[in-house]
Copies of this chain bind each other. A is one copy, B any other.
Amino acid sequence: MQPRCSDTIIRLDIEADLLSNVLLEMEPDGVVVVCDTHTRELCLPHLLSRLGSYTPEVITIEPGEQNKSLETISLLWDRFYHLNLSRKTVVILLGGGSLLDIGGFAASTFKRGMPCINVPTTILAAVDAAVGGKRGFNFNETKNIIGSFYPSSYVGLDPGFFRTLPLTEKLSGWAEILKHALLEPDRKALIELLKEDRQPETLSLQEWGNLISRSIRTKQRIVEEDPYENGVRQMLNLGHTFGHAVEADMLHNRKKELPHGFAVAAGIIMELYLSFKLLGFPQELLTKVCYYIRDTYPVVPFNCKAYNTLIAYMEQDKKNRGKVISAALLKDIGLYAYGTPLSPTLCKEAMDFYRDLYNT
């Protein structure tokens, strides 16, 4: 049972029975939940109360990006094997982006694919990993370098899970929402976001739900146009060419996990700078977004000695053709220029711009 359509979103906060109805419709021969030690404690009881008569097996893995590894994949395959799961078993993935990525990859490859329901428990995961079918794990210190395209059958969205998120987590999701707003041809979404009274710390759950739903729609529109990322889907990597590099550098060379959205926010600054420099992205918008990010996100610390390391990470980016770094830039808000080649010199200039902005 390989799902080919893109993910259908169901709002669990609005209709409580939806999830058990969806399961009834899918006619699984069993249900298994994959969660991590955090979501097991904080989110699993609530999820279980939504499953009607289904009593799933529960598999718990360690949380975090550093566990998105071959070892965890092997462990998941081994658990699936010993539970004797079949291609008709539904796998519910309950967690943040890392869990959806690695749990989804394991599910997509066990017996060549079991149907999945993504239940994101962070805002970041809701607007990013939960939609669009990208699965994967890290290998040789390179993020998501092994993976598959495998959409979930459903995404169960419950803003209730976001209630207890620390501000760091909310900010991390906010950066992806900001990225999606930059990809909307209409400036309205962006202007709304940058308003002073609409800060991540002050939104109600209802407001989060609506904001996330809108953000997901932007992503879905782009994914449906180009599910296997041969073209326009590359735009979803805005901020990620540099973002992934600083994220990998922090993780492997400083042994510190940088929240993904913080890395993306830094990446957006560097990539909007290059959009301005190479493609005439409006300077006033560049300034507005960069100041907003600077005032909202802490600096990602790196100095000029790290430049070559960062560039080496960028040369491994999946979007590249050969070794030439390729970035998804913007001519203007909603005006796409994916596949823009970047020289190491240009990359360094963008890093200088970032450090100047933060005065480091």
Task: List, in ascending order, chain B residues with CB within 8 A of A318's CB.
Answer: 86-87, 111-112
Q: What per-residue 1/0 map shows which CB atoms of A315-332 lie under 8 Å from chain B?
A: 110111111000000000
Within 8 A of B (CB), among A101-144: 108-113, 134, 136, 139-140, 142
B139 engages A81 (CB within 8 Å): yes
The reply to whether the CB of A70 lies closer than 8 angstroms to some CB of chain B is: yes
Task: List, in ascending order, chain B residues with CB within 8 A of A227's CB.
Answer: 2
Q: A147-B109, A148-B112 are in contact. Are A321 and B86 (CB under 8 A)?
A: yes
The CA-CA distance from A338 to B77 in the complex, in Å, is: 27
The reply to whether the CB of A146 lies closer than 8 angstroms to some CB of chain B is: yes
Within 8 A of B (CB), among A213-230: 227-230
Partner of A316, one of B4, B84, B320: B84
How many copies are assembled? 2
B148 engages A30 (CB within 8 Å): no
The reply to whether the CB of A167 lies closer than 8 angstroms to some CB of chain B is: no
The reply to whether the CB of A207 lies closer than 8 angstroms to some CB of chain B is: no
Q: A1-B230, A29-B322, A81-B139 are in contact. Are A145 and B110 (CB under 8 A)?
A: yes
Q: A139-B77, A140-B78 are in contact. Are A148 and B228 (CB under 8 A)?
A: no
The CA-CA distance from A140 to B84 in the complex, in Å, is: 12
The reply to whether the CB of A55 lies closer than 8 angstroms to some CB of chain B is: no
The reply to whether the CB of A74 lies closer than 8 angstroms to some CB of chain B is: yes
B323 engages A81 (CB within 8 Å): no
A109 engages B74 (CB within 8 Å): no
The reply to whether the CB of A149 lies closer than 8 angstroms to some CB of chain B is: yes
Q: How far is the CB of A258 from chain B (nearest CB, A)?
A: 22
The CA-CA distance from A322 to B320 in the complex, in Å, is: 43
What 6 A-B pairs come out closest when comparing CB atoms?
A2-B228, A111-B318, A29-B322, A112-B147, A29-B321, A81-B140
Contacts beyond the supplied A78-B139, A78-B140, A113-B149: 16 A-B pairs with Cβ under 8 Å? A1-B228, A2-B227, A2-B228, A29-B321, A29-B322, A70-B74, A77-B140, A77-B145, A77-B146, A81-B142, A81-B316, A109-B147, A111-B147, A112-B147, A112-B148, A112-B149
Residues of chain A at the chain B interface (Cβ within 8 Å): 1-2, 4, 29-30, 70, 74, 77-78, 81, 84, 86-88, 108-113, 134, 136, 139-140, 142, 145-149, 227-230, 315-316, 318-323
